[in-house]
Chain A
Amino acid sequence: MEEDEIAGYVTAYLKKKGFTQTEKIFQEEFQTNKTNSSPLEPDIAKHILSFSQLESGPARFHDGYSRLRSWTHCSLDLYKHELLRVLYPVFIHCFMDLVAKGHVQEARHFFNTFREDHEMMHLRDLQKLEGVLSPTHLEEMEFAHSLRQSKFNIKICEYSYELLLQHLHSTQSTTILGIINEHINFQVTPGQPSSIVDDPEAVTLSGSSQDAANQINQKEIHWGLLEDSLEERLEKASSLLSDSEKGEGEAKEGETEENKKRPVEGGKQGASIKKVKKDKGGSATGKNTKAEVNTVSAAPRVKPELPMPIIPTEVEQSILEDLRNRVQLSSVALPSVSFYTFLNTHNGLSCSSISHDGSLVAGGFSDSSLKVWDMAKLGEQTASSLSQDENDTSQNPQMGQSGGGKRQYTLFQGHSGPVYAASFSPVGEFILSSSADSTIRLWSTTYNANLVCYKGHNYPVWDVQFSPVGHYFASSSHDRTARIWSMERIQPLRIMAGHLSDVDCVQWHANCNYIATGSSDKTVRLWDVQSGECVRVFVGHRSMILSLAMSPDGRYMASGDEDGTIMMWDLSSGRCLTPLIGHTSCVWSLAFSCEGSVLASGSADCSVKLWDVNTSTKVSRAEEKSGNASRLRSLKTLPTKSTPVYALRFSRRNLLFAAGALAKNG
């Protein structure tokens, strides 16, 4: 190649880029070097050549992508699926580059040509993206924005990576190379390519905010249970009872309990907050054989960060009674499910909630009303099938029924928009409801009246949840925040901001120190209630998150999305243990059984599914070691007769309640 020619290219390139200074220097140098004749390597020259042609137009995106695509499809079978992963990020960034440069027509053409390739995996994203038709839209749209700002992490084996680079260099697809360099972060792993089974972590999105997410997930969280909880007390009481059987006097009971508590607490003060609870009572007597109690007590104990409300003794007694009578559930002992069917809802039921003892059922309607049924009473009147379980447990004060038998329910009116969520306080004396009118209202089931209206959100409040101890509650809204409230203040105590889209659901951690929020940005976040900081970001869902549940031992969290996928997360590591696949439509509701061995999920596909939690966590541990992807066990599918399942609740005795509105078919 003639040096002059090269020089020509270089100057042309520099001119184009507007590097006038450099151009001058280059020409000077070129003149001086001419005699020295240290020839530029032809390779570099070629590169410069291609760079000078770079800005030739939008067609190069099209060409570059289609070349990469056909090459990938022709590549070796063993490495093909890894290389295919690269296509999608390249595709969307090509598209967005085209849009950003203003080549709208070409962008459209490009998008339509290749969209079929990605429809199966990324249909929703494509649908969002295809509306982007001008550079301003790119700025405006949060999804595009986040895509532009973040990088794709792609796991790829060494050889595939080499292949890819070789291909890109040999074909001089600088455009594509640029996109890959800019937006894809390869995690090159030595050895064989990973198996073809879809590894959820193979392609992940991470970016400036997501880098922070990784850091966030380094933070320590204390997922242990609250110390001195009722369950713990029950355990002690039972061990004491066995002591007293031996001959110890009843009167000593109170004393010994206190004596035992004291050293435990003293130890806790010394150590940090995370402190494995010593099972003093159990080990001392050695008589405690309850499996459930053992699993619960295996969880470390933490101190509450919020001042806790005091539980009235009679309520405490009834809860203790329930705990004593709890049915042990496991993969072989499945729960009984009582189903509440809403009839004649005229498509108006937008949420439903069941009190902890199953005796009260609330329905929020799109006509702004909230209706509460007292099933225990209904059961008494008509001697319904739920005879003993309910009547025993319903310690609620009787509700004065205004309708005088005319209406079976209590009507709560006050909202001015569809009621999107309702939540019972642990004892069942209060209900919270959240609505499209951006307010949350507190109702008393004792007085059948509205007590407080909490205003703070600016947009519809999608979800509201009482904390496990009552008094505090959390709400989530379209305004992309979640807020923590206490019953006696009309202003929120904390505002959790950080989600990139609507916060669709909220759930309390068992120890009340954290809340989890699920969002339309397809992430779940865990927030520290005391500091208001985000302490975990869980990435992995492919669509909007609709339901969350925390395991009673505080270690795990389950989240369900629009596609019917349920994911089980380990809170401490922030990683997905295993996806539970089985539902075919939105998972509206999730619930852990009281000892945490069974997860129930209710879905729009008209079924309740029961999952074995123990194997799921175990299997995934084995999975980590062997790298073998085996799905966890679905224990049972309970189909309803065309009733989507809106709400699920395990009573303290482990009876599962489910609720849903009968959908007319045809």
Chain B
Amino acid sequence: MSIVGKERIEVIAQSIGITNLSPDVALSLAPDVEYRLRDIMQESIKCMRHSRRTTLTADDVDSALSLRNVEPIYGFASGGPLRFKRALGHRDLFYIEDKDLDLKDVIEAPLPKAPLDTAVTCHWLAIEGVQPAIPENAPVDGRSPSTGSSLFIVISVPAEAKKNEQKDDNLPVDIKLPVKHVLSRELQLYFDKVTELTLTQSESVLFKEALVSLATDSGLHPLVPYFTCFIADEVSHGLSNFSLLFALMRVVKSILQNPHIHIEPYLHQLMPSVVTCLVAKRLGSRLADNHWELRDFTANLVASICKRFGHVYSNLQSRLTKTLVNAFLDPKKALTQHYGAIQGLAALGPNVVRLLLLPNLEPYIRLLEPEMLLEKQRNEVKRHEAWRVYGSLLRAAGQCIYDRLKIFPTFPSSLPHAVLKTNARVLMSSPYKRKASLEQLEEQPPLKKTNTDGEVGVVLTNSSPSHKQGEAGTQASSVDSIIGSSSASEQMKNDTISNAVVRSNKVDTRSWKTSAALAQVWKDELNSGRILVSLFELFGEDILPFIQAPELYMFL
């Protein structure tokens, strides 16, 4: 514990020219020196505390020395903390670098800039105990659970707190005028009524009326900041209340629809809540809550926002897609979050899907597959979720390919190969059959198989070799062709088909004549063809309904 040893005293003595210091003196001097040092440090800590600081400076030591009537040590005026350097070759030896300065240089050097003068600024740290979200205050961390908080950080547009609080820069001089917000009594009543409706009776007719009013009335603009705040608050607190969330999203939609409302400045506050409703881990507390519906609704909402304001906020869509893709690619996130992300991306349009979703499709499906199988995933809810995700992926991919194919009004060739290939695969690999049939089950969740899904429209439940019938269920006109092709494929079911082009040559026996030129187009658009092929590999024949009937006819 002794910091000052006998040796140090000897060294110090030598350095000031005392060579004949007896060891006894050094020995008895050392503890006393140490005691004095500690005494000085104790006093300097007092000085530090009274200067309201928590770091000790050389000034404090000087004041402590003067308290003890000792001359201060010169040469250590501290502007900032002292910079100690480690002495080479010694582990615990430090020194302060003391550079030699040429006086000439010092004199000739330009005068340093005068330091800024001290100033005082003023802001609200809290208003009635609540901290306003202004730049001067430390950021309040998002209190919403799980994904909510991370999304808040990702999405929120920084530094544009244009709310009703004052906003002054860090510069002391220009404090901007506070915007005084005056609400008429009528508007307040209106706001109170609408919020009350949203919170309590979102199923009532009155609420629908309110939504219509929100979407059409012209005088509502002063209420927008309050609505955005209200929505943000309620979403962050009410993630377990499904009906409330849905009602809130409908309010958002109505506000967005209103042509008289200038919503842009508040978008950054609105977006986190909306995105939360899209990709939160849990929406609603009960199993019966159809949060899929909410997610779909919100996905469309997000897409409409992007369409409308994408040109104003150039980074809006990129931020959004980034968030969604991150959610989609993170295997740790729940399937519900993946679903939301996929739906959101799909709603943003086929191009987004093609660029962001499809490249990641294959590995993702591979991850998803075990979740969907009865043997691997015992938890029915989980399995159901997995099938949901699968369905949404399918739909997204299907729409994408549909969109691609639409470009070529008389698109010919890719389809047949596709059909062929599907059939071949189906026949070759029995697991696929099972999967396909399960897929139907998924599309109409096991409990309610009765309704037919408009998108996919497959009623197939049999697992006969020619379950092409199922597909044909909705497209009766193409039944024949498919059966035909299937028989054709049956004939050559042992063909290993690796190359699309090769296949096209083989299968196009019947349609070859239709257009050689179209084959050319096909080659040009190899990309979309490849996409299609890969989709088939992943989805099987479920992708078929997305391909327009005309092409199927073409095929005939």
Contacts and interface: CB of A to CB of B under 8 A. Distances in A.
Interface in B46-79: 46-47, 49-54, 57, 59, 63, 67
A252 interface: no
Given A342-B119, A460-B67, A350 B129 contact: no
Given A340-B122, A379-B122, A460-B47, 18 more contacts: A128-B38, A131-B38, A133-B31, A334-B128, A334-B130, A336-B129, A338-B123, A340-B121, A343-B118, A344-B115, A348-B118, A375-B122, A384-B122, A384-B175, A478-B46, A478-B67, A639-B138, A641-B136
Contacts of A111: 1
Contacts of B178: 383-385, 387
A407 B52 CA distance: 25
Given A544-B46, A636-B129, A639-B138, A378 B67 contact: no
Given A133-B34, A407-B117, A640 B49 contact: no
B126 interface: yes
Contacts of B31: 104, 133-134, 137
Shortest 5 CB-CB contacts between residues of A and residues of B:
A334-B129, A133-B31, A131-B38, A337-B125, A339-B125
Contacts of B122: 338-341, 375, 378-379, 384-386
A471 interface: no
Query: Which of B2, B39, B122 is most buried by chain A, counting CB atoms within 10 A of its CB?
Result: B122
Nearest to B27: A104
B120 A341 contact: yes
A547 to B, nearest CB: 11
Nearest to A658: B125
Given A137-B35, A418-B63, A408 B125 contact: no
Query: Which of B54, B119, B120, B175 is most buried by chain A, counting CB atoms within 10 A of its CB?
Result: B120
30 contacts: A104-B31, A112-B1, A115-B1, A131-B39, A132-B35, A333-B129, A335-B126, A335-B129, A338-B125, A339-B125, A341-B120, A341-B121, A343-B119, A343-B170, A344-B119, A346-B115, A346-B118, A351-B50, A363-B118, A363-B120, A379-B122, A384-B166, A409-B118, A417-B63, A420-B51, A504-B46, A520-B46, A562-B49, A608-B125, A644-B54
B61 to A, nearest CB: 14
A459 B67 contact: yes
Contacts of A134: 31-32, 35
Nearest to A345: B118
Interface size class of B (residues with CB under 8 A): 35 or more
A343 B125 contact: no
Contacts of B121: 340-341, 343
A108 B2 contact: yes
Interface in A395-429: 407-409, 417-418, 420
A383 B177 CA distance: 6
Interface of B: 1-2, 31-32, 34-35, 37-39, 42, 46-47, 49-54, 57, 59, 63, 67, 115-131, 136-138, 166, 168, 170, 172-175, 177-178
A334 B126 contact: yes
Chain B binding site: helix, strand, loop or mixed by DSSP?
Answer: mixed
A342 B126 contact: no
A201 B31 CA distance: 35
Contact of B50 (A382, A420, A661): A420
A375 B52 contact: no
Contacts of A639: 137-138
A383 B138 CA distance: 24
B503 to A, nearest CB: 63
Interface string A536-572: 0000000010100000000000000010000000000
Interface string A498-509: 000010100000
A610 interface: yes
Contacts, number: 185
Nearest to A608: B125
Nearest to A661: B52
Interface in A590-642: 604, 606, 608, 610, 635-636, 638-642
A659 to B, nearest CB: 8
B138 A640 contact: yes
B129 A502 contact: no
A128 B43 CA distance: 12
Nearest to B126: A337
A336 B54 contact: no
A383 to B, nearest CB: 5
A148 interface: no
Contacts of A562: 49
Contact of B120 (A132, A340, A459): A340
Contacts of A344: 115-119
Contacts of A514: none
A198 B180 CA distance: 52
A343 B172 contact: yes
A417 B67 CA distance: 12
A535 B547 CA distance: 95
A418 B64 CA distance: 13
Contact of A342 (B120, B138, B174): B120
Interface string A313-355: 0000000000000000000011111111111111111110000
B125 A640 contact: yes
Contacts of A384: 122, 166, 168, 175, 178
A5 interface: no
B2 A588 contact: no
A586 interface: yes
A351 B47 CA distance: 12
A366 interface: yes
A488 B170 CA distance: 43
A205 interface: no
B128 A333 contact: yes
Contacts of A386: 122
A61 interface: no
Nearest to A134: B31
Contacts of B34: 131, 133
Nearest to A352: B52
A354 to B, nearest CB: 11
A132 B54 CA distance: 26
A371 interface: yes
Contacts of A378: 120, 122
B232 to A, nearest CB: 21
Nearest to A369: B118
A343 B1 contact: no
Contacts of B54: 585-586, 604, 644
A373 interface: yes
Contacts of B116: 343-344
Given A342-B119, A383-B178, A585-B54, A337 B124 contact: yes
Query: Which of A131, A336, A562 is most buried by chain B, counting CB atoms within 10 A of its CB?
Result: A131
A388 to B, nearest CB: 11
A646 to B, nearest CB: 5
A392 interface: no
Contacts of A529: none
A604 B51 CA distance: 12
Given A334-B126, A335-B129, A641-B138, A131 B120 contact: no
B123 A339 contact: yes
Interface string A112-128: 10010000000000011
A583 to B, nearest CB: 12
